[in-house]
Amino acid sequence: MSQVSLPDHAGPVEKIWHWMFIAICALVFLFLIAPILVIIPLSFNAEPYFTFTSEMLSFDPDAFSLRWYEDFASKEIWQRSIQNSFIIAVASTILATTLGTLAALGLSRSEMPFKGIFMGLLISPMIVPIVITAAGIFFFYATISDFIPLTGTYLGIILAHTVLGTPFVVITVTATLTGFDHSLTRAGAMMGANPTTVFFKIIMPLILPGVVSGALFAFVTSFDEVVVVLFVASVEQQTIPRQMWAGIRESISPTILAVATILICISIMLLATVEILRRRSERLRGLSAG
């Protein structure tokens, strides 16, 4: 029986509440997804407007065009921005995944003291407003600029995005390690395997779905981040979100809608990957996929 279906003995009140609950959920979902539903068709507008033309509403084929996607593909500033976004996101994801996985492994050990304090510190970038975090990073970079110049460099942005992405890796890997059977590592050690072999042959295959999920969240966090980039980046490190922000403020063009549609498609693919990994993780841990 489906999870949303009613039992045969349900009364009139239960049936009314059931359909009201479905309607409320549908309205909430529509409210959340409405901006996406508006952006996608507008990105195919043949005219340089941010509104639906009468021709579009009448489904006139001439009212739709790929001109804004072609504009995105042809302009060097957009190509440089997407190149910067991928370079920064990939590099920060690798660092965040490595540091977050090591931190989660340490927090999963029973003899680890002050777990709550360390966990709170590690996930604090998720709790503290991003503007405060960005300002703190900017002033920290300014303080050490005489020794290590990080403001206006790729390294500075990558390190800043690593700070923002690491909490997601810590949380996902820690959740994966919650049901981990540590007797497997003890058995591997008893068989003569060194800690490195135990990690790569036993621990890593079992926590890999959580590691990959955390890496995907870290990648999306870096790829979509704009506030920190506004604080610490220079013109050379222009990313896609910063270029979209500049386009909205300086020269409004439906090219921004085309870029937003592309980012939506990327996000959907990443979320689908996370869901597939979650189901795989549940199967590996002997749980039913829900």
| Domain identity same for 125 and 269 | yes
What's the whole-model pTM score?
A: 0.78
| Domain identity same for 186 and 227 | yes
Two tokens, residue 279? 């189901």
Residue 69 located in a structural domain: no
- The predicted pLDDT at position 163 comes to 93
Residue 6 located in a structural domain: no
- The predicted pLDDT at position 5 comes to 62
Measured between alpha carbons, how far is 139 from 157 in angstroms, rounded to an integer? 14
| Domain identity same for 178 and 35 | no
What is the residue-wise DSSP string for the chain? Answer: --TTSPPTT--HHHHHHHHHHHHHHHHHHHHHHHHHHHHHHHTTBSSS-SS--HHHHTT-GGGB-SHHHHHHHH-HHHHHHHHHHHHHHHHHHHHHHHHHHHHHHHHTSTT-SSHHHHHHHHTHHHHS-HHHHHHHHHHHHHHTTTTS--TTSHHHHHHHHHHHHHHHHHHHHHHHHHT--THHHHHHHHTT--HHHHIIIIIHHHHHHHHHHHHHHHHHHHHH--HHHHHH--GGG--HHHHHHHHHHH---THHHHHHHHHHHHHHHHHHHHHHHHHHHHHHTTPPP-
Q: Choose one of 63, 85, 106: the last residue of a domain.
A: 63
CATH code assigned at 205 = 1.10.3720.10
- The predicted pLDDT at position 88 comes to 94
Question: What total of structural domains would you count in the chain?
Answer: 2
| Domain identity same for 84 and 197 | yes
Do 125 and 134 form a contact (C-beta atoms < 8 A)? no
| Domain identity same for 36 and 120 | no
Residue 7 located in a structural domain: no
Name the residue range of residue 123's domain.
75-284
Residue-wise pLDDT tens for the chain (290 aa)? 344 566 666 677 777 888 888 899 999 988 888 888 888 888 888 888 778 888 888 888 888 888 889 888 888 888 899 899 999 999 999 999 999 998 988 887 777 788 788 888 888 888 889 999 999 999 999 888 888 888 888 999 999 999 999 999 999 888 888 767 677 777 877 887 777 787 888 788 878 888 888 898 899 899 888 899 989 988 888 888 888 888 777 667 788 888 888 888 888 888 888 778 777 766 765 554 44
Say how many C-beta atoms besides its own lie within 10 A of residue 124's C-beta.
12
Q: How far is CA 96 from CA 101, 126, 132, 161, 215, in A?
A: 8, 14, 20, 8, 7
Q: How far is CA 28 from CA 39, 268, 272, in A?
A: 18, 19, 21
Residue 23, exposed/middle/buried by CB under 10 A (0-12, 13-18, 19+)?
exposed
Q: Taking CA 215 as the corner, what is the angle to CA 211 and CA 217, rounded to the nearest 5 degrees?
A: 120
